[in-house]
Amino acid sequence: MKVLVTGGGGFIGGHLVDRLLRDGLDVRAVDIKPTSAWHQVHPSAENVVGDCSDPAVAHKVADDVADVYNLAADMGGMGFIENNKAECMLSVLTSTNMLVAARDAGAHRFFYSSSACVYNGEKQTDPNVTALAEADAYPADPEDGYGWEKLFSERMARHFREDYGLETRVARYHNVYGPLGTWEGGREKAPAALSRKVAKVALGHTDGIEIWGDGEQTRSFMYIDDCVNGTMAILAGDNVEPVNLGSAELVTINQMVDILEEVAGVSVKRSYNLDAPQGVRGRNSDNRIFREIYGWEPSISLKDGLERTYGWIYDQLTGRA
């Protein structure tokens, strides 16, 4: 029996496929993009190009699989999310059809990658935010577009478990980053975008960077290795409720730039674009439930993760030159 990873050509999917293969599992990776555009292509996996929002494709790729990791979604950083709400919501077609296909194929377990964007916006108006607990998703007021799709798909996963016996598991990801991710083009998230900007200063291309907002908005950022470990633990575990999967290390965007300056050994001039998309004012992960259930929590520090991410992006820029 195979393990299916939808979105297997994406950033998180590529790292997850790599880990599953190293653990000796038989993996089918599926992505809508041509393999030339995948973040990672693993020759030992069964790599399939297909659109899982199509019911026929969803049923074909779910055939003979034991476990499904459904990571496929149309998403990006805050700039993409705020300017493509309908496109983000269309991911509900993939979420729906993969649940139906997994049920029909008799899959054992189904993992759904949700997001911290499901949380009530009124609880995220202060940079000194109280860490968001799982119950804070209701009453519902998620990120418009992307967050609503994620919250709706969480409920679908719940009802497929209740009505059809499909063992669904849900993680709410908090800002995943790391090497081999999107770092330019408009879909990149803050760690990659800022790493690219600082690397260009280090290479002498410019002496300054633009920061979206005033830089005092706060977030927590989870390194990809912690994300993969947590994802696998959640699918294998007995907890059926959505659970946070994120770092509890809260930083401002300005503090992230401080770290990158130290990593790169440069000082950058900062300009602030107050009209740019910046999302909620503050967001952090409350990991109490995750710690109680799994006995650990994401712990790779932002500095350690940024050192690896910045180094990889720096290499992409120098390799291109």
Domain ranges of the chain: 2-176+223-245, 179-219+249-320
Specify the 3-state DSSP secondary structure of 304: helix
Contact present, 21 and 46 (Cβ < 8 Å): no
Angle at 163 between CA 160 and CA 167, to 5 degrees: 50
List of residues 6+ apart from 180 with CB closer than 8 A:
11, 14, 15, 39, 40, 312
- Kindly provide the residue ranges of all beta strands, DSSP E only, lying in the chain, ordered along the sequence: 2-6, 27-31, 46-49, 65-70, 109-115, 167-173, 176-177, 208-212, 218-220, 222-223, 243-245, 250-252, 269-273
pLDDT score for 299: 94
Closest CA to 191 of 214, 224, 146: 224
Q: Is the dihedral of CA 197, 245, 166, 13 positive or negative?
A: positive
Mean pLDDT of 238-250: 98
Specify the 3-state DSSP secondary structure of 267: coil
Cα–Cα distances (Å) from 111 to 34, 283, 307, in that order, read 24, 24, 30
pLDDT score for 321: 63
Mean pLDDT of 49-54: 98
Tokens of 31: 């992505």
Question: Residue 134: how many CA atoms within 13 Å on its side-chain side?
Answer: 16
Q: Per DSSP, what are the bridge partners of residue 3?
A: 27, 67
What positions carry a catalytic annotation? 146
Closest CA to 246 of 2, 12, 33, 80: 12
pLDDT score for 1: 78
Burial of 128 (0-12, 13-18, 19+ CB in 10 A): exposed
pLDDT (tens digit per residue) in 58-105? 999 999 999 999 999 998 888 899 999 999 999 999 999 999 999 999
pLDDT score of 283 more than 90:
yes
pLDDT (tens digit per residue) in 17-41? 999 999 999 999 999 999 999 999 9
Looking at every residue in the chain, the average pLDDT score rounds to 97
Contact present, 93 and 73 (Cβ < 8 Å): no
What's the CA dihedral at 302, 212, 33, 172 to 10 degrees? 50
pLDDT score of 268 more than 70:
yes
DSSP letter for 46, please: E
pLDDT (tens digit per residue) in 173-188? 999 999 999 999 999 9
Closest CA to 175 of 271, 300, 84, 47: 300
pLDDT score of 320 more than 90:
no
CA distance linking residue 315 with residue 212, whole number of Å: 25
pLDDT-derived band at 50, boundaries 50, 70, 90: very high
pLDDT score for 77: 85
Rg, the chain, Cα only: 19
E strand or H helix at 171? strand 167-173
Query: What is the model's pTM?
Result: 0.96
Q: Which CATH code is given to the segment(s) 2-176+223-245?
A: 3.40.50.720
CATH class in words for 179-219+249-320 = alpha beta
pLDDT score for 9: 98
Q: At what angle do helices 224-236 and 11-22 cross, to 10 degrees?
A: 60
